Structure 1
Amino acid sequence: MPLRKPVFSRFSALLGPVAMPLALVNLASFVSQIIQIGVIDTLLPLALTNAGLGERHGGMMLSLYWLADLIGGFFVAAILRKTHPVIPLLISGVSFFTLIVVVMVAPQSFWVLPATLFAGLGLILRWVVCDGLIVQLAPANKVGRVVGFHETLMGLGIVLGPILIGWLGDDARMMSGLALAAAIIALLCGFAFPRLEMASTKKGAGATLRRWIDHWDLVLIAFVAGFVEICFLSVLPLQAQRDTGLADAGLWLAAIFVFGGTICQPVIGYLSDKGGPVKLAWLCFALLLAGAVPLALSGYGVFAGMVQFAIGMAVAGLYTAAVLIAASGRGEQGYQVGVLVLVSQSYTLGAIVGPSAGTALLVMIGGWALPVLVLTAGSLSVLLLSIRHMTERVKM
Structure 2
Amino acid sequence: MPARLFLKSTSIPPATAMSLALVNLASFVSQVIQIGVIDTLLPLALTNAGLGEQHGGMMLSLYWIADLVGGFFVAAILRKTHPAIPLLISSASFCLLIAVVMYAPQSVWVLPATLFAGVGLILRWVICDGLIVQLAPRDKVGRVVGFHETLMGLGIVLGPILIGWLGDDAFAMSGLAVLAGVIALACAFFLPTIEMASTGKGAGAALRRWMDNWDLVVIALVAGFVEICFLSVLPLQAQRDTGLADAGLWMAAVFVFGGTVCQPLVGYISDKAGPTKLASLCFGLLLIGAVPMAVAGYGVIAASIQFILGVAVAGLYTAAVLIAASGRGQGYQVGVLVIVSQSYTLGAIVGPSAGTSLLVMVGSWALPVLVLGAAGLSIGLLMLRRQS
Q: TM-score, normalised by structure 1?
A: 0.95
Q: 1:70 to 1:7 in 2, by over 3 A?
A: closer
Structure 1 counterpart of 2:175:
177
Residue 285 in structure 1 maps to residue 283 in structure 2: yes
The alpha carbon displacement at 1:10 in A equals: 4.8
Helix, strand or coil at the partner of 1:15: coil
Are residue 352 (structure 1) and residue 349 (structure 2) matched? yes
Where 1:19 maps in the other structure, the secondary structure is helix
Which one of the candidate residues 321, 324, 329 is aligned to 2:322?
Answer: 324
C-alpha contact (below 8 Å) 2:200/2:335 kept by paired residues: no
The answer to whether the 8 A contact 2:45-2:105 is kept is: yes
Structure 2 residue identity aligned to 1:367: S
Distance between the aligned counterparts of 1:223 and 1:350, measured in 2?
4
Q: Residue 9 of structure 1 aligns with which residue?
A: 4
CA separation in 1, counterparts of 2:240 and 2:223?
A: 25
Deviations 1:328-358 (A, max 9, x none): 2425346x22111111110100000000000
Q: Using the alignment, how far apart are the partners of 1:265 and 1:129 within structure 2?
A: 23
- Where does 1:81-230 land on structure 2 (aligned, <5 Å)? 81-199=79-197, 203-230=201-228
Per-residue deviation, 1:195: 1.0
- Give the whole-Å Cα distance in 2 for the aligned partners of 1:291 and 1:270: 22
Amino acid at match of 2:62: L
**Contact 2:3/2:18 (8 A) holds in 1:** no
- Give the one of 362, 365, 368 matched to 1:365: 362
Taking the aligned partners of 1:64 and 1:103, their CA distance within structure 2 comes to 15
Distance across 2 between alignment mates of 1:24 and 1:79:
21
CA spacing shift, 1:276–1:333, aligned 2, 3 Å = closer
Q: 1:258-289 CA distances to partner (integer Å, 9 max, x unpaired)?
A: 00011111111111111111111111111000
- 1:30 corresponds to 2:28: yes
Separation in structure 2 between the aligned mates of residue 354 and residue 239 of structure 1, nearest angstrom: 15
Code of the residue aligned with 1:206 in structure 2: it is G
Pick the aligned partner of 2:41 from 40, 43, 48: 43
Q: Is the 8 A contact 2:275 2:323 kept in 1?
A: yes
Distance 1:31 1:106 in 2: 24
Q: Percent identity?
A: 78
Q: CA deviation at 1:221?
A: 0.7
Counterpart residue number, 1:255: 253
Deviation, 1:142, is 1.5
Structure 2's unaligned 5+ residue stretches are none
**Deviation per residue, 1:181-206 (Å, 9 max, x gap):** 00001011111111111136652211
Alpha-carbon shift at residue 135 of structure 1 (Å) = 1.2
Amino acid at match of 1:9: R
Deviations 1:47-66 (A, max 9, x none): 00000000000000000000
Of 6-15 and 34-43, more deviation after overlay is shown by: 6-15
Match of 1:341 in 2: 338
**Equivalent of residue 313 in structure 1, options 308, 311, 321:** 311
Gaps of 5+ in 1: 1-5
Give the residue type in structure 2 aligned to 1:380.
Answer: L
Q: How far off is 1:241 after superposition?
A: 0.3
Amino acid paired to 2:107: S
RMSD (Å) for aligned C-alpha atoms:
1.3
CA contact (8 A) 2:199 2:335 kept: no
Letter of the structure 2 residue corresponding to residue 313 of structure 1: V
Give deviations 1:352-391, integer Å, cap 9, x for gaps: 000000000001111110000001111111122222323x
Match of 1:3 in 2: none
Greater shift in the superposed pair: 205-214 or 29-38: 205-214
CA deviation digits over 1:203-233, x for unaligned, max 9?
A: 2211211111121111111100000000000
